[in-house]
Amino acid sequence: MKATNIKSLIAITVAAICICLLPWQMALAQNEEVFERNVPNIEISLYSLLPQGSLNQIAPLLGEKGLSLWGTIPSDYNNDKAIFIHIIDDGMCDEQIEIIWGKTIDELDTETEENQVFYSLKKVNQNDALLISAIDLDTVLRELATNQELKDLLEELKMSPVVKPSQKLIIPKTTYSIYSQNKTGNIELMKLLQGRGESVSGSVLPGYNNDKAIFLHLVNDNMIDTQSKIIWGISVKELDTRTLKEGVIYERKIINENWALLISAVNMNELKKALSSDLELQKQINFIKKTKSVTPAKKIVIPASAPNRQDPSVPSPSPVKDTVPNISIKINGENKVFSPGPVIKDGTTLVPMRSFFEALGCEVSWNNSTQTATGTRGDKIVQLTIGKKEALVNSQVQVLSVEAQLIEGSTYIPLRFVGEALGDTVIWDAKTRSIEIQQN
């Protein structure tokens, strides 16, 4: 048979196969169209400056599937459809409010106070966005659970397509910083300051970034005169003497063209008391949160503090120390030594997060934006957030007696809770001061 005849026969055969397959291909294409038409597009992101932990309450009401949850509005908004939630005094800045809501923060807050809750569906950079503003978190939760109109808008948002905008939209960050000599417990301060948008530092940075700021000082916290004079305008001795007389002092002033709030306290307990009960101080904190940052004409430099400053003329407050016990830990009969070592807080043994998770055979991940540690072993997923007395075990909320926390720069987690959450047996022997973990 000639080559040309063979080629013709092959071509005819291929054509016949294609004709036979055409109805099946068309049916498949139709099915795909039906699938795309009937299944809602759920590429929805939730951007919010709500307090830590509130996302766990809100997500189930929004329907968790497909939601990308953020604890704060990122500076580089990803331009898909989104849910933006605002509550009064949550630290959002004017630029964010104006880009998203198209009004000033004062206008939005006034409208919200009048109506308790304000919401709308609008285009933000060519994609649909659901905007919700409420007087407090409880109102957001109540409306999401009971308001049918809001539920309908949420479903409408889920059904709407996602388009790729012609130009990327940048939403500026809420910029204000806490500069403090307090080495441990900054997470507690974040919560008391309604921890949203702050850049928390364990010491006054030598290269102060010159935006609006909250400066915290405790008596005998190693601050040096040059820092104190730049920030407070007086020497450390003068500042400490005034603070010891009054317990807590604070003032608002311009530092290098930006507003700053200066707070000085005798000790951490006095600071906590003032932050939680002094209404005038709370007003000053909210002022710093709402005011805009400007770029100063000239950058100032605050020098680093000297280590272990001791001024015999100023009495030292009594620090509350963690108990550092002589405890041995065994896992499946094998001694384990952790560095840094375990500590006891309120009767609970805490251990360094990463090394303990790894000793139990877990894969470890850390989310810096939410301050959450995750340990995964087999079908068990344990999530603990610094400063939060609720943990997630396979997405189920569990209450902790003592929360995960920062101690001298290291993340510590409760030993018994983590071991038992992973399905292990944890035994404490008081006589030998030892902990035995048997993996099941």
Beta bridge partners of 328: 434
Residue 313's pLDDT is: 36
Range scoring the smallest mean pLDDT among 8-22, 49-63, 110-124, 332-346 = 8-22
pLDDT band at 376 (very low <50, low <70, confident <90, very high): very high
What is the percent of the chain where pLDDT is above 70?
Answer: 71
Range scoring the smallest mean pLDDT among 39-48, 141-150, 223-232 = 39-48
pLDDT band at 39 (very low <50, low <70, confident <90, very high): very low
- Are 165 and 127 in contact by the 8 Å Cβ rule? The answer is yes
Greater model confidence, 369 or 255? 255
Calpha distance 406→270 (Å, rounded): 20
**C-alpha 361 chain-centroid distance:** 27
| 93-112: pLDDT as tens digits | 677 888 888 888 778 888 88
- Neighbour tally for 50: CB within 10 Å: 20
pLDDT band at 308 (very low <50, low <70, confident <90, very high): very low
- Are 369 and 71 in contact by the 8 Å Cβ rule? The answer is yes
- Are 243 and 264 in contact by the 8 Å Cβ rule? The answer is yes
Greater model confidence, 382 or 312? 382
Q: What's the mean per-residue pLDDT of the chain?
A: 75
- Are 197 and 91 in contact by the 8 Å Cβ rule? The answer is yes
What is the percent of the chain where pLDDT is above 90?
Answer: 15
Q: Mean pLDDT over residues 360-385, rounded?
A: 88
pLDDT band at 30 (very low <50, low <70, confident <90, very high): very low
Question: Fold for domain 44-159?
Answer: Chitobiase; domain 2 (3.30.379)
Residue 170's pLDDT is: 78
Residue 53's pLDDT is: 61
CATH 3.30.457.10 fits 328-438, yes or no: yes
- Are 249 and 264 in contact by the 8 Å Cβ rule? The answer is yes
Just give the CATH number of 176-290: 3.30.379
Instruction: Check pLDDT > 70 for residue 4.
Output: no
Q: Mean pLDDT over residues 238-244, rounded?
A: 90
Can you spell out the DSSP letters for 266-299? Answer: SSHHHHHHHHHH-HHHHHHHHHHHHSPP---SS-
Instruction: Check pLDDT > 50 for residue 317.
Output: no
Residue 248's pLDDT is: 92
pLDDT band at 437 (very low <50, low <70, confident <90, very high): very high
What residue has token string 């407050």?
A: 317
Residue 3's pLDDT is: 52
Indicate the SS3 state at residue 51: coil
Instruction: Check pLDDT > 60 for residue 144.
Output: yes
